Amino acid sequence: MKHLLDSNTLIEAKNRYYGMTICPGYWSWLIHQHQAMEIASIVQVRDELSKGNDELTHWAKENADIFDAANDANTQAAFASIASKIAEQIPLMKPGAVEDFLGGADPWLIAKAMTTGAVVVTQEAYNPAVRRKFTIPNVCEAFGVPYMNTFELLNKLEARFVMRA
């Protein structure tokens, strides 16, 4: 895989611009791009999506092969280095920010990208001044991990959703 999807890329697509009944081509495109080894995500993202009870939850369960394991030794070592660096930021952040970040899928997603050379795809924006929570772009910047948003990914992979008469 060359691109790893954060849960917010899927949630926002479903809730806003690529609703599953409005633009089924987007969801088919994701599956096609996974088969072409361009995109994937991780089990922790699938687990976040599985907490719901909507069409995205069902889609994630039906397409479980898109979500790769992140429990290999290299990813665990990368996660440990992320956790260590994040812990150094405790005095600068809102109380609970470290625990919230380390308890979710985001550090695992970044760790998997670190070990595979993948680009993280997220709708979060880089903002070095944020102190209320850790964001994927901020952590990616700290570790030299490339990231982009959904629309940059769509352009890069030349996605086309064409309506046929």
Please report, for the domain that includes residue 113, its CATH number.
Answer: 3.40.50.1010
Burial 109-138 (b: 16+ CB within 10 A, else e): bbbbbbbbebbbbbbbeeeeebeeebbbbb
Q: Which domain holds residue 61?
A: 3-156
Domain count, the chain: 1
pLDDT tens, 15-58?
Answer: 999 999 999 999 999 999 999 999 999 999 999 999 888 999 99
Classify residue 161: in a domain, yes or no. Answer: no
> Which pLDDT band, with edges at 50, 70 and 90, does 165 fall under?
low
C-alpha–C-alpha distance, residues 165 and 144, integer Å = 45
Classify residue 163: in a domain, yes or no. Answer: no
